[in-house]
Amino acid sequence: MKKLALHWRILLGMLLGVVFALIMTNFDFGKDFIKDWIKPFGTIFINSLKLIAIPLILAALIKGVSDLKDISKLSKMGGRTIGIYIVTTVIAVSIGLVLVNIVNPGKSITEETRKEMVDSYSTNTTKYKDEAAKQSQSGPLQALVDLVPSNIFEAATSNRNMLQVIFFAVFFGIGLILIPEEKGETVKKFFDGFNEVILKMVDLIMLAAPYGVFALLAALVVESPSLDLFKALGWYALTVVGGLMLMVVVYNILVVIFTKKSPNFFMKAISPAQLLAFSTSSSAATLPVTMERVTEHIGVEEEVASFVLPIGATINMDGTSLYQAVAAVFIAQAFGMDLTFGTQLGIIATATLASIGSAAVPGAGMVMLVGVLGYAGIPEAGLALIFAVDRPLDMCRTVVNVTGDAAVSMLVAKSVDKLGEPHVQNWDDNYDAVK
């Protein structure tokens, strides 16, 4: 019997997780059983991916930067990477604003439903407002200050500090380039080997992916809010999802135009990473898998992927920025506010900058949304209107974030002539020699 492809196994795991949860909710003990005995396995799976995210960034970036052997190449690749990321983010926000103004989902919210949701989620709203207030009190250059860690070992203890780890890795890689080759050879060989070990660990973790997503989706179903609230927010959710789907189409168009690769090739290669992004709602947790798919299954050379993808996981939040634009206008509509064209242009700029600052972890976009609402003069209490569907939408926008990272890595690789043929590696390639 032919072995199912990884993306099909992951999809099957997700489907079975949903079905299992729906069956278990018919029993009094069902929800507690899933929370106590099923959900922990999903948490273990996410933790195993997060476990290797920081080591992967360190090893891959140091290796990638040092392999360039030329600082001018680094600056050229860095400029193109950030430039393309900003362009795609602006496109994403613009798509979101156009759709939300056409559909007008906020006008379907009744006063009764609005009050019910504000009352239900007021605690959550306060939490995000407080967190956003802390960020707003910092100075205009705080982002630059936060970029440079005072202690790399402390920075490496949290995936939220990914930009600091990236800074150190790039800095370290530049140092390797600038010393005599014979002195840096041992260090380079160490990180080459370290990187190979981490990628092999990714292969091993992916063996458990179908079971991990089964547990995650089962837990999501039993923890979801009431169906009535979902119905009330249906048009809003459809607007966001529609915008996200259009953004995926944009990525495929860019891939076809600039790399001459087919959409089928691109989507098939990246699908396991997309499915994991959907299950985990975290670009950071998905990063090891994204990097493996891009290098081995698409053909982006490692020195490009190891530079572009970690940066993308931190600053390229196209899905998040699109959602922020839609959410801001939706909340304004729900409160009967008419936003001017100038204000909506300002939302494009604010959401673009906010998405760059969003951590690559679940729920971070909600904190940044407070800043977008504040700019537009929209009541922050309106956050409560979208909490009911935020979790599934967070899953969808993370898929777009990861897809965007992969697409941009292909564009950058093509521009520097580093896009080759796929070279797939399996977890058991060397197994016969050591068993």
The pTM of this model reads: 0.81
Give residue 278's pLDDT.
Answer: 92
Q: Say whether pLDDT at 251 is over 90.
A: yes
Beta bridge partners of 419: 300
pLDDT tens digits, 335-368: 777 888 888 888 877 777 666 655 444 555 666 6
Domains of the chain: 6-421 (1.10.3860.10)
Taking alpha carbons only, the member of 384, 319, 308 closest to residue 61 is: 308
What does the pLDDT read at residue 136?
A: 57
pLDDT at 54 > cutoff 70: yes
Q: 249 pLDDT band (50/70/90 cuts)? A: very high
- φ/ψ region of 296 (left if φ > 0, alpha if ψ in -120 to 50, else beta) reads alpha
Q: For residue 230, name the pLDDT band (cuts at 50, 70, 90).
A: low
Tell me the CB-side half-sphere exposure of residue 307, using CA atoms within 13 A: 30
H or E, element range at 42? helix 39-68
d(CA 102, CA 376) in angstroms, rounded, equals 19
Please determine, for residue 424, whether its predicted confidence score (pLDDT) is greater than 90.
Answer: no
Of 278, 284, 251, nearest in space to 84 by CA: 251
- More reliable by pLDDT, 356 or 259: 259
Torsion sign, CA atoms 170, 174, 176, 177: positive
For residue 117, the model assigns a pLDDT of: 59
Residues in Cβ contact with 304 at an 8 Å cutoff, skipping those fewer than 6 apart: 64, 77, 409, 412, 413, 416, 418
